[in-house]
Amino acid sequence: MLIKLFLDDCVILSGTSKVEKNAIAERLKDAEAARKKFDEGLKRYATENVTRDEIRPSLENEVQRLTQTVGQTEGEKREKEEQVARCEGYIDGMQAKLQACQTSKANSSSFLQQYIRALETSLQEEMSRHAPLYGAGLEAQFLKELETLARIHEGGLRRIHSLSHRKGTQAGSPLISSPHTLPHTHPLFPNPPHSLSHRKGTQAGSSHYSALTLHFYSSYTHPLLIHHRFDILSCPLLSFQTASIFIETVIQDI
């Protein structure tokens, strides 16, 4: 086509001036440059199409791989979220158990403290209740109770002396004297004060209480009484008179 145009231009130039010929030559050069540029663009476009066709499968594969990766990542994310939720639930449960244990521990500690205080109070009451059996707190006892203690100790000394005599124990011990040497009157109160016959013991009879303590310890060291000593103290409802009757019964069994 360009050749035809060139021939047409040549025919035209044969009848034209030199200026017109130069203009036509310039137009021819421009057309030739445009054609070359067009050809280069066409080749480049064809090359790009070929390259695009070659690259498209790899890009599609890459997109598919990324899509799968994203789906897998989302699945792992959901699993992690579920694990986190389970861990949070487990932590909440453990915290609730810990709180319950702390509450139970506090309640148990309070209960144990109350129980210990109750035991201490009971022990103090029992010690106060049975103190006269050990020769303590005699000043607060009535005359009848003191006479009961004296009778128990006097009978115990007589039986211990008899038992020791049968076993060949040497006589003359200050704690184990002959039963004939024991006074026939009351060993603790030969002349009890007038106040003791009406009320509890006073300072006037305090000198006799030491004698009661001596008689008590001398008789209470007998093995049978020692064996029953904790039985007496372990009974929470044992009164003074009941304990006295018990000791008197034990002495009679010696």
- Each residue of 4-47: pLDDT tens digit? 555 555 545 455 577 888 888 888 888 888 888 888 888 888 88
CA distance 139 to 146: 9
Q: How many Cβ atoms from other residues are within 10 Å of residue 162's Cβ? A: 13
Domain-located, residue 199: yes
Q: Under a CB-based contact definition with an 8 Å cutoff, are residues 150 and 133 in contact?
A: no
Q: Which two tokens stand for residue 71?
A: 């789906």
DSSP 170: P
Domain-located, residue 88: no
Biggest CA pair distance of the chain: 189
Structure confidence by residue, pLDDT tens digits, 152-202: 888 888 998 888 888 875 555 444 444 444 444 444 433 433 333 333 443
Domain-located, residue 131: yes
Higher pLDDT, 112 or 228: 112
In the three-class reduction of DSSP (H, G, I as helix; E, B as strand; rest coil), residue 88 is classed as helix
Domain-located, residue 48: no
Higher pLDDT, 114 or 246: 114
Confidence category of residue 249, pLDDT binned at 50, 70, 90 = low
Structure confidence by residue, pLDDT tens digits, 229-238: 434 444 444 4
Domain-located, residue 242: yes
- Give residue 160's domain range: 127-252
Structure confidence by residue, pLDDT tens digits, 34-93: 888 888 888 888 887 777 777 888 888 889 999 999 999 999 999 999 999 999 999 999
Q: What is the mean pLDDT of the chain?
A: 70
Domain-located, residue 4: no
Range in 10-14, 107-111, 149-153 with the lowest mean pLDDT: 10-14
Domain-located, residue 212: yes
DSSP 178-242: -TTTS-SS-SS-SS--HHHHHSS--GGGHHHHHHHHHHHHHHHTSHHHHHHHHHHHH-TT--HHH
pTM, rounded to two decimals: 0.33
Q: Under a CB-based contact definition with an 8 Å cutoff, are residues 247 and 132 in contact?
A: no
Question: Domains in the chain: how many in total?
Answer: 1
Q: Which two tokens stand for residue 18?
A: 């030199």
Domain-located, residue 201: yes
